[in-house]
Structure 1
Amino acid sequence: GCGLSGRPDETKYDYRLKSRIEDIESFIKDLKLTGKIDLILHDWGGMIGAAYALRDPDKINSITLMNTAAFFPPDGDMKIPLRLKMIRNKGLFAETAVLGFNLFAKSALYMASYKGLSDDVKKGLIAPYNSWKNRIAVLKFVQDIPLYENDPSYGIVKSIDDNLHRLSKIPMLICWGKHDFVFTEKYLYEWRKRFPDAEIHLFENAGHYVLEDEPEKVSFTVKDFLKRRHATVSR
């Protein structure tokens, strides 16, 4: 439902975390990849990718994380930014704001980048969400953020959170944009606490869209990490 992927309606797809995990598992299976794989994860992808890795850690060569989480909000603080809270909890308002006026995608153009995006990049990022129907995935993924035990995806996130330590032997790179209004530095500290051996790079002039703010630096860092990882594996 995001980008230029298919947009099934809710009668055919539930847009829940469980389905997202099944999607990536099916996708990787269809690719018929041989050998271990490297996961590069951002935002909701951190939760999805971590869940996939936990199903078979031996398949994973390395994990690269960018401004994401695979655990509940640190320190038991089950709060999310007001903008997300309004979309998550206010059904009619959320439908009007997200599906009708595309406010979530539009606000991200200005809030997720620290340096600011060019007009061409803004147009490209928002282009896929040009109608009510094409915005359904944006609404549903925010509404699926689990904070309480009765939330549909709570059990899955709890399982990921509880078992994340099983990935501790997998080489990990963390590229983090410092100025993120959702995944603040307390999330980075939590990653550091759980994975003290992770290679961490904090980008001082980047926000949530760390790849947009520092494309050359982040790309170089990731490529260098993967090159070193594969050199180690091939020995």
Structure 2
Amino acid sequence: MAVNTIASRPDDRPPPTVPHRLLPGYPDPAHWWHVPATGQHYLDTGTGDPVLLLHGNPSWSYAWRHLLPVLSPHVRCLAPDLPGLGLSPRPAVAPNAADRYAAQLDHLDALFAHLTGDRQLPAQGWTLVMHDWGGPLGIAWALRRPGVVARLVVLNTIGFRWPPGYRLPVYLKWIRDFAPVAALAHLTNAFPRAALRAGVVHPLRAAERRASLLPYARRSDRRTVVEYVRSIPHSDDDPAWRLLEPPDGHSSSLAALPVFIGWGMRDPVFTPLVLDEWTRRFPQARVHRYADAGHFVMEDAADELGRHIRDFLLGRVRR
């Protein structure tokens, strides 16, 4: 399958510069890499089978800092910052949501080509760890690349149309649907600030909260944060959902994969209704529900979640 790599565009903005000393718990710069074709920043740590960790919005690879030390002794962890987020460059914003989704998938293709080519990682046997926006992007990319992904780890995310009865939180609808609200969110950085407080049950330390927000300190670095929210599908007929469906006449290549689901039960966005749909679609999944964790389950349940994912990847059974 041909890879649609992305050339740098003259209006791309460089990534923010964040000193490592301001990122408590984050791997040191020896593990920081960039994709030559796109400039996309990613972490590469550990040895073994490849595990691709896809974060959401407004988070970035800093969100994986608790899991990486637990997983990297056993697997090779590749944790990119999605284009426009974290320490990756700020590309020009595509004119519509469909183009924005396509651009994100093209960046994943470019990352994969770099890792399997320049870095000589295997072209099969990958595990996807997906949170928030990383879920739909990961599922769409796995369907685009049949045979590459061998296992799925699902953490408070979506990979299908919203289940019947689901209601998007009103503050996300306001940003999505009303341009003045979106403009205000961009100006004030309100969405990342609110997400880091409402998305956890146990508050982050001040230094960790500052570190999470550092890539979005400048107004010019926040546009993608708002555009992700603006790209949330409006209805079941939204063309974006088609990326999460196998090609016509084909069954999903993901349906029978081993799946681990780790779910923060106090998530105000991805409610238990969404979890129920995951378990319906993947009845073979190993499921762990974390009663005292919110949207950022990797923050609230870091120790327990890390052990559970490690055991899943190593084929251990722990209930």
Q: TM-score, normalised by structure 2?
A: 0.66
Where does residue 119 of structure 1 map in the other structure? 206
Does 1:4 pair with 2:92?
Answer: no
2:136 touches 2:158 (CA, 8 Å); kept in 1? yes
Q: Number of aligned residue pairs: give it.
A: 224
Where does residue 10 of structure 2 map in the other structure? none
Alignment deviations for residues 62-90 of structure 1 (CA, whole Å, 9 cap, x no partner): 0101000011211164x311110110011
Alignment deviations for residues 34-74 of structure 1 (CA, whole Å, 9 cap, x no partner): 13111110001100000111123311110101000011211
Among 244, 255, 262, the alignment partner of 1:160 is 244
Where does residue 39 of structure 1 map in the other structure? 128
Do the aligned partners of residues 183 and 162 (structure 1) sit closer, same or farther apart at CA in structure 2, a change above 3 Å counting?
A: farther
Among 78, 86, 91, the alignment partner of 2:174 is 86
Do the aligned partners of residues 165 and 10 (structure 1) sit closer, same or farther apart at CA in structure 2, a change above 3 Å counting?
A: closer
2:163 touches 2:273 (CA, 8 Å); kept in 1? yes
Do the aligned partners of residues 159 and 128 (structure 1) sit closer, same or farther apart at CA in structure 2, a change above 3 Å counting?
A: closer
Q: Which residue identity lines up with residue 86 of structure 1 in the other structure?
A: W
Instruction: Please show how residues 42-57 of structure 1 align to structure 2 within 5 Å.
Output: 42-57=131-146
Where does residue 95 of structure 1 map in the other structure? 183
Where does residue 204 of structure 1 map in the other structure? 291
2:199 touches 2:294 (CA, 8 Å); kept in 1? yes
Any runs of at least 4 consecutive aligned residues in structure 1 with deviations exceeding 6 A, and if so which? 11-15
Stretches of structure 1 that go unaligned for 5 or more consecutive residues are 230-235
Identity %: 32
Indicate the SS of the match to 1:70.
Answer: coil
Alignment deviations for residues 14-45 of structure 1 (CA, whole Å, 9 cap, x no partner): 77122112211221121112131111100011
User: RCO higher in 1 or 2 (8 Å CA, sep ≥ 6)?
Assistant: 1
Looking at structure 1, the residues matched to 95 and 306 of structure 2 have their Cα atoms a distance apart, in angstroms, of 37
Where does residue 223 of structure 2 map in the other structure? 136
Looking at structure 2, the residues matched to 8 and 161 of structure 1 have their Cα atoms a distance apart, in angstroms, of 27
Q: Which residue identity lines up with residue 148 of structure 2 in the other structure?
A: K
Looking at structure 1, the residues matched to 219 and 156 of structure 2 have their Cα atoms a distance apart, in angstroms, of 28
Alignment deviations for residues 154-206 of structure 1 (CA, whole Å, 9 cap, x no partner): 22313415678441111110010010000000000000011100110001110
Where does residue 273 of structure 2 map in the other structure? 186
2:161 touches 2:236 (CA, 8 Å); kept in 1? no
Q: Which residue identity lines up with residue 102 of structure 2 in the other structure?
A: K
1:99 touches 1:139 (CA, 8 Å); kept in 2? yes
Looking at structure 1, the residues matched to 274 and 96 of structure 2 have their Cα atoms a distance apart, in angstroms, of 30
Looking at structure 1, the residues matched to 242 and 141 of structure 2 have their Cα atoms a distance apart, in angstroms, of 14
Q: Which residue identity lines up with residue 276 of structure 2 in the other structure?
A: Y
Does 1:59 pair with 2:140?
Answer: no
Instruction: Please show how residues 164-175 of structure 1 align to structure 2 within 5 Å.
Output: 165-175=252-262
Indicate the SS of the match to 2:265.
Answer: strand
Does 1:106 pair with 2:232?
Answer: no
1:51 touches 1:160 (CA, 8 Å); kept in 2? yes
- Flag the structure with higher helix content: 1
Do the aligned partners of residues 19 and 76 (structure 1) sit closer, same or farther apart at CA in structure 2, a change above 3 Å counting?
A: farther
Does 1:146 pair with 2:233?
Answer: yes
Looking at structure 2, the residues matched to 72 and 209 of structure 1 have their Cα atoms a distance apart, in angstroms, of 21
Looking at structure 2, the residues matched to 166 and 12 of structure 1 have their Cα atoms a distance apart, in angstroms, of 31
Looking at structure 2, the residues matched to 107 and 51 of structure 1 have their Cα atoms a distance apart, in angstroms, of 28
1:54 touches 1:166 (CA, 8 Å); kept in 2? yes
2:261 touches 2:287 (CA, 8 Å); kept in 1? yes
Q: Which residue identity lines up with residue 157 of structure 2 in the other structure?
A: T
2:153 touches 2:260 (CA, 8 Å); kept in 1? yes
